Structure formats: C-alpha cells, structure tokens
Amino acid sequence: MKVYVCKNYEKMSAFAANYLAAQVIIKPNSVLGLATGSTPIGMYKELVAKYQNEGISFKNVTTFNLDEYIDLPKENENSYYTFMHENLFDKVDIKEENINIPDGSVENFEVYSKEFENKIQKCGGIDLQVLGIGNNAHIGFNEPGDTFSNSTSVVELTESTILANSRFFESEDEVPKKAISMGIGSIMRAKKIILLASGKGKAEAIHKTVNGEVKPGVPASILQFHRDVVLVIDEDAASLLEESSYERV
C-alpha cells in the first residue's frame, strides 16, 4: 500500500485526476470503477477540465459505479445516478451505453447483482477502481461486519452512515436504509485501486486502514492485501499516521 499525502483537498483532487487521466491515456478503453460522496467531487471537476482543455477523451471508457441507494428514484437529486451525471458523465464524451450504475429499483436484486458482476467480468474486469472511505472505514457501502462480502449485493446501512449521509437530505428520516453495493471481493478484483480521503474526520479510519489489523470490522483494512493500491489523502486525513508510512507529494 502506497500512501501519498497532499497539502490540501485541491492538491489531492489534482493528483487523483492525473492518476485517472494517465490510466485513460495509456489505455483509452479502460474500465473504471467509480465512487460517489463529497470527496471525489474535486477530482471529477479536474477531469472535466482535462477533457475540455487537454483533449482527454472518455469515448472508449467503460465505467462501473460502486453503489446506489435502494428505493430512491434515479431522478432524485441524491441518487448516485444524478451525482455521476452532474459531476462527470454529462460533461464529458462518455457513451451512455458504457455507463453502469447499480440500479436501486429492480425487482429481483439477487439476479440483478449477478448480472452486474458478470458484466464487469465480461468487460475484462476493472482496470482502476476509485474509492472514498466512510468515517467507519466502509468502502462502497460495505459496512463493518463479521465477514467480507464477495460480490455485489443488497446491504443495510449502519446508523453512523445514515447520520453522515443525512447532510445531503432534508432530514435523517429521508436517507434510504438500504443500498446495492459492489462487495469487498468485487473491489479486490480490480487491477488497481486509488482511495481518496480528506479531512480530520477520516483520520482514524485512515490510520486503521494503513496500520491496523485486517478485519471485516474495518472494511478498508483489506486493501493491505491488494498488490496495487494507492491512498491519496490530504494532511488532515493523514494526521494520525506516522511520517514513515507515507510520502509527501
């Protein structure tokens, strides 16, 4: 696990955008795994600027998003469908048919989840997976638990995640209680992973992820076992790490 510490959120976003752009330049038909949340917004903004000013093209890129709320209509301002279209897809040249976001409104989640996983494999697997991290070290919507889930499935959100995500909704009651999420196995099968974290609120989760024991109670800790992971974090998120465990960029 390689940890890069950037001075602030803007520098973190620029570094991450360069990392993704490099992937797309080297392999224009890359399969990207994408994340939502407030953390990657700056990175998406930088990628849109690269599309507009530097000719980075997404026309042969395929994307798979990590997760989506269940029972929140696509058109809702808080759906991850809306988030991805507003922050990236509507602003670049990606083809709509190459966009894959889990659908939180299907009838049969078991069948749908299998199809979603199969589609990732059919596309050759994810070349580069982007991750954020929850305050409780969840990745995607894989909450702390007793086991690491292998593949895409329906998950119940924890109270702490519902509370954290209520900042985007009118009230806590409006936050969906369930989501469909790629599993820890789906994430670990990606060829490369980049995890972003910003702010003091993430410092403890980052500390446990980098230096703690690998256990399902700290979902992101499993990343210690992946052979190509970079953490790109700002100084606040790195504040509990020993200087020797990271490189400043």
- Contact residues toward ligand GLP (CB under 6 A) are 35-39, 66-67, 132-134, 140-141, 161, 165
Q: Are 14 and 38 in contact (CB under 8 A)?
A: no
136 a catalytic residue: yes
Active-site residue among 143, 234, 235, 236?
143
User: Is the sign of the CA dihedral 171, 184, 220, 215 positive or negative?
Assistant: positive
Min dist CB 135 to ligand GLP, Å, is 7
18 a catalytic residue: no
* Residue (16 or 56) nearer to ligand GLP, CB: 16
Min dist CB 162 to ligand GLP, Å, is 10
* Residue (57 or 160) nearer to ligand GLP, CB: 160
Min dist CB 199 to ligand GLP, Å, is 8
Active-site residue among 98, 136, 142, 165?
136
CA-closest candidate to residue 154, choices 103, 189, 193: 103
Tell me 98's DSSP state. Answer: G
Q: Provide the CB-side half-sphere exposure for 5 (13 A, CA).
A: 19
67 a catalytic residue: yes
Min dist CB 224 to ligand GLP, Å, is 18
User: Is the sign of the CA dihedral 218, 19, 102, 228 positive or negative?
Assistant: negative
Helices (H), 27-158: 41-54, 80-87, 109-122
143 a catalytic residue: yes
Active-site residue among 67, 68, 117, 234?
67
Task: Determine the residue with CB nearest ligand GLP.
Answer: 132
* Residue (39 or 149) nearer to ligand GLP, CB: 39
Helices (H), 123-238: 159-165, 184-188, 203-211
Q: Which residues are catalytic?
A: 67, 136, 138, 143
